[in-house]
Structures are given as C-alpha cells and as structure tokens.
Amino acid sequence: MPLDRRSFIAGTASVSGVVFATNATAQSTTFNSQPSKENPMPQPKVLLIVGDATETVDTLYPYYRLIEGGYQPVVAAPEKRLYQMVLHEVKPGWTITKEWEGYSIQADIAFKDIKPEEYVGIFFSGGRAPEYIREDEDLLRITRWFWENKKPCASVCHGVEIPARAGIVKGLRMATVAKCKFDLEICGGIYVNEPCVIDRHMFSGRTYHDSGKFVGPWIKALDAEREKMS
C-alpha cells in the first residue's frame, strides 16, 4: 500500500497499521504486538524477552519468524510499557560496539504477570537489556521453569546472561557473542564459537548475523512441542 503523501508531509504515514514517524523530531517506529480485529494473532504463544536497549535485529527477526510460523509472539519485559530498542554494530576502525537508537517496541506483559505454562517456548534477545533484567526474580523463575520443563529455549548474543544468571547453563554448550564468553563460562557453561549450537532444548547463536542459522531449528522444536500439546 503506498504512503499517503499528505500524511507523509504532515509528519506521519501509515502502512498496514504501522505508523512511521517521518519528521525530524520523531526517529523511531513503534511495533505493537497486541492483537487486533484486522490481524488477530494465532495460538500458541511464545515469550520474547526484552528490556530497554534490547537489540533491534536480535528482537525483530524472531518476532516476525514466529508470526510466519503460526505463533503469537508475546513481548515480555520488567513492565508493560514502551521500550527503546537499539542497533549494535562495530564501526570500521573501532574495536568496540557502536550503539544507535532503533525502533521502539511495546511490551505485552510484565515478568511478574507471566504464567509460563501458557507458553510453548521462550527467546532471550540480546543488546544491553540482559545486563539489568537478569536480576529480575520473576524472570529468573520463568527461565528456570522453561528449562526444567524441557520447553524450547533460544538465546542470542547478550541474551545468554539471563540463563547463566538463572543457573541453568552448567555443562551446557552455547553460542554467544565473544565478549560474553566469560559470563557463560563463569556460570559453568561451555562456549562454542559457531552460528548454531543446539544442546538439549537450548538453541543459541552468537549475534543477529547468525539468526538465519539457529532460529529455524528452534521454531522446528516449537512445532514439535505444539504437536505434543495438541
């Protein structure tokens, strides 16, 4: 559907229900995962764990793959509110990651309100968010429930800090960004520098560049879980 020229000049334009800010003062697009009459979200539900400064591609790649696969992605965070995502990339000549603001995303549910038995799987997104949300006791409780009940779990980049903090990685082979190798190993995990690492019901990748390698196998595991529940 083409953009409405008058709306675009006025500062906003809408395509299929997503509002794009086009003026100089509004730089982000808000992704709202709430269902609507025009586009009701299917069952079953899968948790997507985020917080402020969650990485944009880490988050949106599995979000849309879940919808494509017939699942309802439920964005979960410390509070039910709007969160700012970021873009992470190492600039040429830099040795550390450069951060830019990305899109915004609306959390559907707060960690404290999650009933894990209502979901078939969980995804731990990356970015800087895991550094602080890993101390949330409700998130740790939820993480342990998914692991102990053998539900398909997935992690990318800094997302590893959450299962590591939850104490479920001892002896577990996982991929993560190299700078998080210490976080994984100090908690008893085994660092593997590969784009897709599958150990039991944990699926992991190093960064969003690996999304095309490990997210597909995780979704196949969700399909198997859905079959068991049907």
pLDDT exceeds 50 at position 194: yes
Burial 204-218 (b: 16+ CB within 10 A, else e): bbbbbebbebbbeeb
Q: What is the mean pLDDT of residues 39-48?
A: 78
Q: What is the mean pLDDT of residues 23-28?
A: 38
How far apart CA 40 and CA 33 sit, in angstroms, is 10
pLDDT of residue 195: 98
pLDDT exceeds 50 at position 5: no
pLDDT of residue 95: 85
CATH code 3.40.50.880 region(s) in the chain: 37-229
Of residues 51 and 30, the one with the higher pLDDT is: 51
pLDDT exceeds 60 at position 110: yes
Provide the 10 A C-beta neighbour count for residue 176. Answer: 28
pLDDT of residue 2: 41
Model confidence pTM above 0.75: yes
Q: What is the mean pLDDT of residues 19-28?
A: 36
pLDDT of residue 37: 57
Chain segment 123-178, per-residue pLDDT in tens: 999 999 999 999 999 999 999 999 999 999 999 999 999 999 999 999 999 999 99
pLDDT exceeds 50 at position 94: yes
pLDDT exceeds 60 at position 20: no
CATH number of 37-229: 3.40.50.880
| CA neighbor of 154 nearest in space, from 194, 112, 126, 117 | 126
Label residue 81 by pLDDT band (50, 70, 90): very high
Chain segment 64-75, per-residue pLDDT in tens: 999 999 999 999
Burial 42-65 (b: 16+ CB within 10 A, else e): eebbbbbbbbbbbbbbbbbbbbeb
Label residue 12 by pLDDT band (50, 70, 90): very low
Q: For residue 131, give the 3-state DSSP assignment.
A: helix
Phi first, then psi: give them for residue 155, nearest 5 degrees. Answer: -145, 145
Burial 84-107 (b: 16+ CB within 10 A, else e): bbbbbeeeeeeeebeeeebbbbeb
Chain segment 159-169, per-residue pLDDT in tens: 999 999 999 99
pLDDT exceeds 50 at position 188: yes
pLDDT of residue 33: 53
* Block residue for tokens 């976080």: 183
pLDDT of residue 166: 98
What are the distances in angstroms from CA 1 to CA 6, 7, 17, 57, 170? 15, 14, 11, 24, 50
